[in-house]
Structure 1
Amino acid sequence: MVKLSTRSRLHSRMSNFVDWIRAGDKDDIIIKQSKEIRERICGQAEADGLTVRSTPNSGSFAKKTGLRRHLQGDSYVEGQDIDLPFVVSPRDEDGAQIDELLRRFARYAQTSYPNTSRTPTRSSIQLDFVGTKLRYDLVPMLAVPGDNFAQVLLRSNGEKRRTSVQKHIEFVTARTGKSNLLAGRVLFNECVRLIKWWREFRVDGARVLKDVPSILLDLLCAHAYDRLEVEETYAGTLSRWFSLLAGTVRKRERVAFSDFSRLPAASGNAVWTVLDPVNPENNIVSQWDKFQVDELAEWLEEGCDSINRAIAADLRGDDVASLESLVELFGSPFKHHCEVKE
């Protein structure tokens, strides 16, 4: 395999695009506003009979995998999620039910921010601030007695699932830290960003695969990193990652990790298995059918073809063809944000 130069036009374009999609221009605002929201909501919860045990950092902001919110033609990228978990110990049984908790947190949000848009979801209350154009998800979770690094996530169907916000953050940031020790500027979390952006432009025209959750992309990227690490260039890295992951998905190979526990025995009950490293009993794709798995494999195969065409064009000095292949991969915003602005 020919190694792409870090001085190539392709690497320069992808580096500029990575810098642009990074949602880092509002970090200070997010930190300040998150602190204020936590204080106000905690005060309301405590007064209402809930004991707030902790409010750990969570979501793509904490993992440093968030995307810039962007509207380009008909292509809309949602941007990074700012999850604000509130790990609580209710004083009565009703307070441990998701419907009741969401009603309470909606009330706390209304009292604390009466002029801010609020939207309930299956497991959170979204707050949209017009001034900063930021969205926060207030996520009530149950504390696990005797374990400060575990929580119970409540689902609208009544399911209660043990998890750990802190360990999910560690899972991603540990790989980013390891990648920082390798040659070149390419980091694990930056590749996750690129894959998440690529996902946004594939879902829009999907046949059956309307939702590819970010946690699945985190795990697939970790699977690729653990086997291949990162190259000195983004294109070289994505070429190998797309190829590996296309084979993994097409062959229904199990994806599992031993970061926090031993690998469990294989189970054949699902079409495909991608295990949550924090809770190996949780198969992230347990509800997927064969058509969804096949479509994801097709996406990855096409992604591999596009990045390899871009590399081949770059090596023969055809900048136009290389750019066209990258636009196929990342959508029209790429051509507008892959060059350094004068």
Structure 2
Amino acid sequence: MGREHVGHGDIARFAQEKVNLPKDKADEYRAQARRLREKLDGYLEEHPDFTLKKMMISGSLAKGTALRSLNDIDVACYISGADTPRDVTSLLNYLAERLRTAFPNFTPDQVKPQTYSVTVSFRGTGLDVDVVPILYNGNSRWYGNLVSQEDGSFLETSIPLHLEFIRKRKQAQEKHFAQVVRLIKFWGRNAKSQREGFRFKSFMIEMILSHLCDQGLNFSDYPEALQHFFTYVARTDMREQIIFTDYYKSAAVGTFSEPIRIIDPVNPKNNVSRLYTAEQTDMIVDAALAAGDAIDAALAAPTKQETVYYWQKVFGSSFQM
């Protein structure tokens, strides 16, 4: 039936052609961010008392889950020092001033404070690097207080541990874990363009798929893995609490009253979905139900035309076979 017309291999080819950030682009972006970090490392060797302590690529590029549409890079910048401001606006101006000092070849307009980060623009590639400050007190596991990109609050986090957490899941299901993450993120972007008010941040998608991975779900068949994700969202109504015990015991997890409770794997006191309302939660569930129904119809469709039609309900008009 429909699987004869569109199966795992077809979804994998679609991902390569339309979803994934091409390897050469990913390498170029990583090299750009690495040069920025290496310049800072060189500066720090000459100025050991400088308040910028470490820069690390973070976000989807670091995790290997970036989409083709990526147009900026997230970099975490660890800052320490008694004179470091504690309010966000002052902290961002402080960070911008020190980045300009560390990189004197950049013009002032190439280093601009934004709402919750500082954007460093590269004129040659047109690439933007969003530098997010983390207040650091010397913790050996690189815990510090990150400025949240959602609301500007300070959240305790460790970028190295977050990257290690995802790397473990990728190692458990080589290639397939990251690919399914990218496919679901692509679906989420399509759903956002089709549904006013829809939001479903990438980190939440990664955490749900990490939970399913830990439960033993095999991601090697993409139609089946996608369907399992949507079934999980629909079955739990997005109200099932998700926790991980890689870096803390379950007893350390606090009590949360928000509709969605996906707990940060490196901070048991942080619900990463705390800002989602009941209405937004229901929109995610409705979108997942629709996607699951579309995949069911695609797998049962008698013709290739019908099969592609139903897959387009999941991925949009760019899905062509």
TM over 0.5: yes
Q: 1:237 aligns with which of 221, 225, 234?
A: 225
Tell me how far apart the structure 1 counterparts of residues 238 and 68 of structure 2 sit (CA, whole Å).
33
**Local SS of the residue matching 2:291:** helix
- Give the alignment's Cα RMSD to 1 decimal: 2.9
Q: Which aligned pairs between 1:150-189 and structure 2 lie closer than 5 A? A: 150-155=143-148, 159-180=153-174, 187-189=176-178
Aligned to 2:194: 205
Does residue 246 (structure 1) correspond to residue 234 (structure 2)? The answer is yes
The alpha-carbon distance between structure 1 residues 48 and 116, as it changes in their structure 2 partners (threshold 3 A), is: farther
Does residue 139 (structure 1) correspond to residue 124 (structure 2)? The answer is no
**TM-score normalised by length of structure 1:** 0.81
Does residue 311 (structure 1) correspond to residue 299 (structure 2)? The answer is yes
The alpha-carbon distance between structure 1 residues 247 and 168, as it changes in their structure 2 partners (threshold 3 A), is: same
Q: 2:287 aligns with which of 284, 296, 299?
A: 299
Does residue 85 (structure 1) correspond to residue 76 (structure 2)? The answer is yes
Tell me how far apart the structure 2 counterparts of residues 65 and 243 of structure 1 sit (CA, whole Å).
22
The alpha-carbon distance between structure 1 residues 169 and 275, as it changes in their structure 2 partners (threshold 3 A), is: same
Cα deviation code 1:297-332 (max 9, x no counterpart):
11111111112222222xx4x111111111111112
Aligned to 2:10: 13
Shift of 1:59: 1.2
Shift of 1:52: 2.9
Shift of 1:235: 0.6
Shift of 1:68: 0.5
Q: Is the 8 A contact 1:84 1:136 kept in 2?
A: yes
Aligned to 1:195: 184
Q: What percentage of residue pairs aligned between the two structures are identical?
A: 26
Does residue 102 (structure 1) correspond to residue 92 (structure 2)? The answer is yes
**Local SS of the residue matching 2:128:** strand
Tell me how far apart the structure 2 counterparts of residues 311 and 266 of structure 1 sit (CA, whole Å).
42
Aligned to 1:124: 117
Cα deviation code 1:120-171 (max 9, x no counterpart):
3332112344542433111221113342431211358774321010111112
Report how many residues are paired.
313
Which runs of 5 or more structure 1 residues have no equivalent in the other structure?
70-78, 181-185
**Local SS of the residue matching 2:78:** strand
Higher mean C-alpha displacement, 264-273 vs 27-36: 264-273
**Local SS of the residue matching 2:215:** helix
Code of the aligned partner of 1:52: L
Aligned to 2:258: 270
Q: Is the 8 A contact 2:295 2:314 kept in 1?
A: yes
Q: Is the 8 A contact 2:136 2:142 kept in 1?
A: no
Code of the aligned partner of 1:162: E
Aligned to 1:30: 29
Cα deviation code 1:193-248 (max 9, x no counterpart):
00111111111233433x32221111111122222422432111111221112222
Code of the aligned partner of 1:278: V
Q: Is the 8 A contact 2:116 2:152 kept in 1?
A: no
Shift of 1:173: 1.5
Higher mean C-alpha displacement, 53-62 vs 324-333: 53-62
Q: 2:208 aligns with which of 220, 223, 230?
A: 220
Does residue 334 (structure 1) correspond to residue 319 (structure 2)? The answer is yes
Tell me how far apart the structure 2 counterparts of residues 288 and 319 of structure 1 sit (CA, whole Å).
38
Aligned to 2:248: 261
Shift of 1:115: 8.1
Q: Is the 8 A contact 2:173 2:219 kept in 1?
A: no
Which runs of 5 or more structure 2 residues have no equivalent in the other structure?
none
**Local SS of the residue matching 2:142:** strand
Code of the aligned partner of 1:201: N
Code of the aligned partner of 1:203: K
Q: Is the 8 A contact 1:85 1:141 kept in 2?
A: yes
Code of the aligned partner of 1:103: N
Higher mean C-alpha displacement, 45-54 vs 296-305: 45-54
**TM-score normalised by length of structure 2:** 0.86
Code of the aligned partner of 2:30: I
Code of the aligned partner of 1:178: A
Aligned to 2:307: 322
The alpha-carbon distance between structure 1 residues 112 and 304, as it changes in their structure 2 partners (threshold 3 A), is: farther
Code of the aligned partner of 1:51: T
Cα deviation code 1:171-203 (max 9, x no counterpart):
2121111112xxxxx611110000111111111
Tell me how far apart the structure 2 counterparts of residues 266 and 54 of structure 1 sit (CA, whole Å).
30
Shift of 1:11: 2.2
